[in-house]
Amino acid sequence: MVFTMKTTFIGLWILLISTLGWSQAGADLFKAVQDDDDELVTGLIDEGANVNTKLKMREIKYKGTVDRHYSWTLLHEACYKGNKEIVEILLANGAHINARTVSNWTPLHEASSNGYFEVVQVLIKNKAEIDPANLNDWTPLHTAAHEGHGKIVRLLIENGAQVNKKGKYGWTPLHAASSENHREIIKILIEKGANIYSKDKDGRIPSDLAKNNIGDSSKRLEPNSKKENPQIGSELFKAVQGENEDEVKRLIKEGIDVNEKVKIRRIEYKGGKDEHYDWSLLHEAVFKGNYDIVNLLLEKGAEVNSQTTSGWTPLHQASSDGHVKISQLLIEKKARVNAKNLYGWTPLHSAAHQGHSEIALILIKHGADLNSRGKRGWTPLHAAASEDHKDMVKILIDKGANINSKSNHGKTAADLASRKDIKKLLADKTD
């Protein structure tokens, strides 16, 4: 069989055929998997192509760098592409489900890292090892936690993944999630029994890593420093935190700055902690969901577009937490509806990801960009589909979201949805 190779891979295929002595059928099969051509994959396998053919080296661009994987299998490639159908074809024809690269990276690591929920389901159904460790002793749960894939984190744990498994340097999945400030993943892991006091080889607990991921290390405070605890910080912050509106009014009248910030704000939930740097009084009032205090602070000059060091605004907070009236108020006070955090997410991304439809409609009405792309290339529609929020998906489509928009991994919203009805909804709109 003769095929035309993309220019960017010509050198790769020459390496395959000349160095490894691959058959043309093996090279064709790898190309078919890479091109998501399931019919050609099936045909080549029927003709005798080896489903366990390995690529000597596979280069993958990741966050501006290039990762090199050695002994990369066809199944790894199908998992990298997120193609459930081809994964099933390969497995049905004898592909080694626990195949490892030289760095002990398995197909389940790859699918978990990239957020392909349905592919992970297929691998687990076909008895993939749940806790294989790569050379850094990271399991698929570590990788899913590190990349922020909540549904996959739950699925892995429900199928026996060890929530407190330590990597080479002592990191647990909770350390991995905390290092990237994935709040929802942190919540899930703690709910599932993660040890919040587990120490890595440098003696750091997960909350230390969340802190270390942000800002200048010279400005950090020690975990037990009284200065970092807002509960014993300024009187005004304590009043906002305690939702004492009369005290807030009194202190503002005395001249306390309504734009003062807490250097670090630790938020506890179910035994765990989330940390925010340069957290304003307005952020706190929004977090508490107290409309009256939010309104009071704004009337007294609080900066409506105040940002934490991670670019998180009060409107991000309100949109994420589902505070409809507060979101409306912030927008009325000229909050920037398309403000982006460090991950490139807007308030609409946050509302879509959490399934807050009413807030999404408000944001869109006031000019939110339906097709704004985050750093991974996700639009709000990707965010909604990834969490299977059907009503949100409908709203975004009806308002004009681009259903064909692809992430940096080449995935549309339909690729990220796991529910068949949502996939069908998106497919019908495509037609």
User: Dihedral, CA atoms, 67, 69, 72, 75, nearest 10 degrees?
Assistant: -40
> Is residue 318 assigned to a domain?
no
In this structure, the answer to whether residues 262 and 281 fall within a common structural domain is yes
* Residue 415 host element (H or E): helix 413-416
- pLDDT for position 61: 59
Alpha-carbon distance 395 to 406, whole Å?
19
- 291's tokens: 């409309």
CA distance 26 to 143: 30
CA 386 from chain centre, in angstroms, equals: 10
Number of domains forming the structure of the chain: 3
Residue 266 confidence (pLDDT): 67
CB of 344 closer than 8 Å to CB of 374: yes
Q: What is the CA radius of gyration of the chain?
A: 24
* Pair 185, 158 in one domain: yes
Measured between alpha carbons, how far is 115 from 143 in angstroms, rounded to an integer?
A: 10
pTM comes to 0.51
3-state secondary structure of 265: strand
Boundary residue ending a domain (255, 290, 309): 309
Q: What is the CATH number of the domain that holds 132?
A: 1.25.40.20
Residues 315 and 276: beta-carbon distance below 8 Å: no
| Amino acid 343: pLDDT | 86
* Residue 194 shares a structural domain with residue 291: no
Are residues 404 and 258 located together in one domain of the fold? no
Task: Give the CA diameter of the chain.
Answer: 84
Q: Where do runs of H (alpha helix) occur along 230-373?
A: 235-241, 245-253, 281-288, 291-299, 314-321, 324-332, 347-354, 357-365
Can you tell me the distance from the alpha carbon of 393 to that of 401, in angstroms, rounded to the nearest whole number?
Answer: 9
328 within a domain of the structure (yes/no): no
What's the pLDDT at 187? 92
Angle at 386 between CA 84 and CA 408, to 5 degrees: 75
Does residue 235 belong to any structural domain of this protein? yes
Same-domain check for residues 33 and 160: yes
Q: Which helix (H) or strand (E) holds 107?
A: helix 107-114
- Identify the pLDDT of residue 180: 86
- pLDDT score recorded for residue 430: 67
The reply to whether 30 falls in a domain is yes
CA 309, 314, 317: angle at the middle one, nearest 5? 90
Around Cβ 201, how many Cβ atoms within 10 Å?
Answer: 11
238 with 262, same domain: the answer is: yes
Do 20 and 63 lie in one domain? The reply is yes
Interacting residues of 58 by C-beta distance below 8 A, sequence separation 6+:
68, 69, 70, 72, 76, 77
Together in a domain, 75 and 203: yes
For helices 314-321 and 357-365, the axis angle rounded to 10 degrees is 140
User: How far apart, in whole angstroms, are the C-alpha atoms of residue 84 and residue 120?
Assistant: 9
Q: Could you tell me the residue range of the domain that residue 231 belongs to?
A: 222-309
pLDDT by residue, tens only, the chain of 431 residues: 333 333 334 344 434 433 343 567 778 999 999 899 999 999 999 999 999 988 877 877 554 445 667 889 999 999 999 999 999 999 999 999 999 998 899 999 999 999 999 999 999 999 999 999 998 899 999 999 999 999 999 999 999 999 999 998 999 999 999 988 888 899 999 999 999 999 988 888 998 887 444 333 222 222 333 333 333 347 898 899 889 999 999 999 888 889 988 877 766 543 344 567 789 999 999 999 999 999 999 999 999 999 988 889 999 999 998 999 999 999 999 999 999 998 899 999 999 999 999 999 999 999 999 999 998 899 999 999 998 999 999 999 999 999 999 998 899 999 999 888 999 999 887 65
Looking at residue 241, its pLDDT comes to: 87
In whole angstroms, what is the distance from residue 174 CA to residue 300 CA?
40
Are residues 272 and 283 in contact, defined by beta-carbon separation less than 8 angstroms?
no
Give the 3-state secondary structure of residue 128.
coil
In a domain, 317, yes or no: no
Write out the H or E segment, with its range, that includes residue 380.
helix 380-386
Give the per-residue pLDDT at 202.
85
> Could you tell me if 109 and 226 lie in one domain?
no
The neighbouring-strand residues paired with 159 are none
- Give backbone dihedrals phi and psi of 118, rounded to 5 degrees, phi first: -65, -35
Say whether both 421 and 349 belong to one domain.
yes
Residues 180 and 232 in one domain: no
The DSSP element (H or E) to which 71 belongs, if any, is strand 65-73
Q: How many angstroms separate the CA atoms of 122 and 355, rounded?
A: 26
DSSP 428: H
Q: Quick one: pLDDT at residue 218?
A: 24
3-state DSSP helix/strand/coil percent for the chain, to nearest 5? 50, 10, 40
The answer to whether residues 210 and 178 touch, using CB atoms and an 8 Å cutoff, is yes
Pairing of strands 261-269, 54-62: unpaired
**Contact criterion met (CB below 8 Å) for 75 and 90:** yes
3-state secondary structure of 235: helix
Residue 260 Rama label (left phi>0; alpha psi -120 to 50; beta): beta
Cβ–Cβ < 8 Å for 326, 294: yes
Instruction: Kindly give the interhelix angle for 117-125 and 74-81, rounded to the nearest 10 degrees.
Output: 140
129, part of any domain: yes
Amino acid 51: pLDDT = 94
Whether 61 maps to a domain, the answer reads yes
Structural domain ending residue among the three candidates 161, 194, 212: 212
Give residue 12's pLDDT. Answer: 45
Among 212, 243, 267, give the residue marking a domain's end: 212
Q: Is residue 382 part of a domain?
A: yes
Query: What are the backbone dihedrals phi and psi of residue 69, each rounded to the nearest 5 degrees, phi first?
Result: -115, 130
- State whether 96 and 203 are in the same domain: yes
